[in-house]
Amino acid sequence: MRPDAPREPYGSVESTLENLVASREPVTRSRAFMERAGRHLGLDGPTIAELISPQEVRTFRLPCKILGKVIVLWGVLGLHNNARGPFKGGIRLASDVSLWETVELARL
């Protein structure tokens, strides 16, 4: 590795993406509330699932030069729904925030 190459503070690109792909969305309160509301409205399962699922999730790397060293920050952009205009969504850059937490916050 070159001395001036960006450092990956949270692991390699491959391991980060492997963990992301292998993970599953946890069952959350908002998901349970939306499923309950969908059943109450008489919606079928696929329609409820479509309303709960984000339309798009993007992960990205953001190289930043801080105090003369280049580090790479990972970010997640959750885009929930653009049916009625601009996307409702969220973006997170913190190392302790997971993809699923970002998707959950975009859903609310």
Collect all residues with Cβ–Cβ distance below 8 Å to 30 and sequence separation of at least 6: 104, 107, 108
Tokens representing 86 are 């601009």
The chain-wide mean pLDDT, for the chain, equals: 76
Is residue 7 within 8 A of residue 64, CB to CB? The reply is no
What pLDDT digit, counting tens, does each position of 57-96 carry?
A: 888 888 889 899 998 887 888 787 777 777 766 667 676 7
The predicted pLDDT at position 36 comes to 93
Q: How far apart are CA 61 and CA 8, in angstroms?
A: 9
Q: Single out the residue of 78, 76, 108 nearest to residue 95, CA to CA.
A: 76
Domain extent listing, the chain:
13-23+54-107
Give the per-residue pLDDT at 73.
Answer: 81
Instruction: Please give the helix or strand (H or E) that residue 16 lies within, else none.
Output: helix 13-22
Cβ contact 48:40 at 8 Å: no
